[in-house]
């Protein structure tokens, strides 16, 4: 089975590096499946759990956002933050999720977003980062 090298880099380390068969990501333009010999591509990534396929195995890696560059032989993900399931502090992600939900509730109750003490977009982004971590760690939000 053909392979393509995947390297996921966060600001402080190489999070993941391996030869894989397929990567499924959520880009700013929608879901993308990347196979070996894919056409060159650069896209933004939204917070989600990336799906890495090697043979019949599929594993998840949380990405908080960033960019992906695809070359026929190599995929590079430059992530603002990324974690393997074993690296995820589930309790921390759950607390971040609850905090973001609470802030979004407060934001919805504001009559004017300009005068609202809550930054709705920031809360929404935090919610999606927390959901990505919960999904990748095997604790998806119901």
Q: Quote the least distance from Cβ 26 to ligand ATP, whole Å.
A: 16
61 binding ligand ATP? (CB under 6 A): no
CA angle, corner 38, sides to 55 and 1, nearest 5?
25
Question: x/- string (CB under 6 A) for ligand ATP, residues 98-127?
Answer: ----------------------------x-
- Cβ-based neighbours of 27, under 8 Å, separated by 6 or more: 43, 44, 45, 46, 68
Report the site for ligand ATP in 9-48 (rule: CB under 6 A): none
- 62 or 70: whose CB is closer to ligand ATP? 62
- 60 or 64: whose CB is closer to ligand ATP? 64
- 50 or 93: whose CB is closer to ligand ATP? 93
DSSP code, position 39: P
Do residues 31 and 100 touch, judged by C-beta distance below 8 A?
no
Q: Quote the least distance from Cβ 100 to ligand ATP, whole Å.
A: 8
96 binding ligand ATP? (CB under 6 A): yes
Quote the CA–CA distance of 127 and 136 in Å, as a whole number: 14
Phi and psi dihedrals of 92, rounded to 5? -60, -45
Of the candidate residues 83, 107, 123, 135, the single one contacting ligand ATP (CB under 6 A): 83
Q: Is the dihedral of CA 92, 95, 114, 64 positive or negative?
A: positive
Positions in the binding site for ligand ATP (CB under 6 A): 64, 81, 83, 87-89, 92-93, 96, 126, 129, 133
């Amino acid at each position: 089975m053909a392979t393509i090298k995947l390297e996921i880099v966060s600001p402080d380390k190489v999070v993941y590096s391996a030869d894989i068969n397929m990567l499924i990501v959520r880009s700013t333009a929608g879901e993308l499946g990347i196979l070996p010999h894919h056409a060159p591509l650069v896209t933004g990534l939204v917070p989600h759990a990336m799906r890495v396929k090697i043979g019949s195995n599929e594993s998840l890696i949380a990405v908080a956002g960033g960019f992906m560059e695809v070359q026929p032989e190599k995929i590079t993900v430059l992530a603002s933050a990324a974690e393997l399931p074993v690296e995820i502090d589930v309790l921390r992600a759950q607390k971040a999720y609850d905090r973001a939900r609470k802030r979004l509730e407060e934001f919805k109750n504001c009559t004017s977003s300009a005068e609202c003490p809550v930054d709705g977009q920031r809360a929404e982004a935090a919610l999606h980062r927390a959901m990505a971590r919960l999904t990748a760690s095997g604790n998806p939000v119901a």
